[in-house]
Chains A and B, each alone.
Chain A
């Protein structure tokens, strides 16, 4: 096992140990998706002609919960390590790449976000009174981790930006909602102005969300198949790779600059 994979895995496990059982985790991971799913179901309950809307909202609210938690980690990790724990200089002094450490934190948060998806699906089932029909459980099993990966990938470039400009953390809410909207978590992007469509297509979270919609359908809905999901997975994977490469490049430039300026380790 290489240093990078050990660092990545170690960071993932440490992040889970530190944050899995915090009150804020329970609120964002459990309560928020349930609340959003409940509101959506109440609003849409008379629209019997399009039950797929329920499922979009149920899955989407889970994805939104996952994104909120991952964004929080992307925004606040630096602050936690530097100002709260005082561990940032020690992390930088190890031979492990900072991006491997932060990537581990983000993926841990995204994986923990599975709970949000499960909760929102469960809430939908209970509120709708009918079981969610997963037409292809195998494709669901691929789509869920891919969705976590896509959300972590969208957050990854934010970390070097926060390293460079810590004041960005004040804009945490301002960066939360646009991704919800553009990725089509809660409603299809077709209702958005046309000029936003390319922005949606540029987000791996959009393709991951679409893939999830394909494999989980309401009773009597379309059958999800590998053939329908595969292009969406491919688009998600390619965009994830682009985001990760871009984030690594920016992070290395930023860290190099901060070693010169000394801001990174300033008390």
Chain B
């Protein structure tokens, strides 16, 4: 049974510009996406900034009304049955905001327990249990202002779980966290998943999505590009490999030549690793590239060259870049 059903969901925003002559401009944040999430699944929504991930979460968590299509969570319509639905879902927005810094973590949770209508004894018991679970019991009575970013994020998780929701929406839960803090949050998410909780998680960290999610929806520019498990997504490009070339110098003529060799069916990205610029070319013509790159540029311009299997991030980049023929979307 599907816990979340999104059917041709659309959302537009109207912006008004100009002081004297007011002009209206409509922006399409979601252009008719559809997917379903069964009970107990950890479903990821991945895409670049501005892709529509947060808009989707906000619609599903009843904060925004859809402009078209429909969305149902736990069988309830997010627009017309919002009040009933809010009791049964938990929501977490990434980042440091969303807490009252001048009061303690316990008081933050107590306040939200009241807003969810929890009785005092039940709230007291649940708050103590959650503070223990997220590792904040010893700091529960300190002001939130004094918490580290990771601690604040763990408090966010405790708040989202306070009323024992059946579905949890986690919007970029590890954003801005150091590796250790991010790992702690991922461990908590894994624990939730193991307890059978249905979770919708948004992120643009591909390793995180790969590690945590049962299935992923890749969205870009408001449209759905694919819905599949991480393994299925990788399997969609069986012939694609990544050629990595270390550049001795980051020169524009070398980059232009690499771009030419890459061709229209591949994609090129350059990143800095340990003080060196490394060009990564995803292509199905990787065998040709292994020969043509040194032959064209010469070993004076490039350093070591290697070929590796594509990661989920490579597949994701290929999907969102639209550099090649679009991949077949796997229906969920």
Contacts and interface: CB of A to CB of B under 8 A. Distances in A.
Interface in A1-40: 1-3, 6-7, 9-11, 13-14, 17-18
Given A89-B93, A259-B65, A94 B115 contact: yes
Nearest to A264: B63
B115 A101 contact: yes
B93 A90 contact: yes
Contact of A7 (B61, B64, B98, B114): B114
B114 A6 contact: yes
A174 interface: no
Contacts of B114: 6-7, 9-11, 96
Interface of A: 1-3, 6-7, 9-11, 13-14, 17-18, 85-87, 89-96, 101, 259-262, 264-265
A159 B74 CA distance: 33
Contacts of B11: 262
A6 B83 CA distance: 16
B39 to A, nearest CB: 21
A112 B62 CA distance: 34
8 contacts: A3-B116, A6-B115, A11-B111, A11-B115, A14-B111, A89-B58, A90-B91, A95-B117
A16 to B, nearest CB: 10
Interface residues of B, number: 37
Interface in B64-123: 64-65, 79, 83-84, 86-87, 89, 91, 93, 95, 97-103, 107, 110-119
A102 to B, nearest CB: 12
Given A7-B115, A9-B114, A85-B98, A94 B86 contact: yes
A14 B115 CA distance: 11
Among A87, A259, A262: residue with most chain B CB under 10 A: A262
A7 B79 CA distance: 22
A7 B83 CA distance: 14
Nearest to B89: A93
Given A7-B115, A95-B116, A101-B115, A14 B93 contact: no
B86 A93 contact: yes
A194 to B, nearest CB: 40
B299 interface: no
B74 to A, nearest CB: 14
B115 A261 contact: no
A262 B62 CA distance: 11
Nearest to A2: B117
A11 B58 CA distance: 23
A9 B79 CA distance: 27
Given A10-B115, A95-B86, A95-B117, 14 more contacts: A6-B117, A7-B114, A11-B111, A14-B107, A17-B107, A86-B98, A87-B99, A92-B62, A92-B63, A96-B116, A101-B115, A259-B64, A262-B11, A262-B58
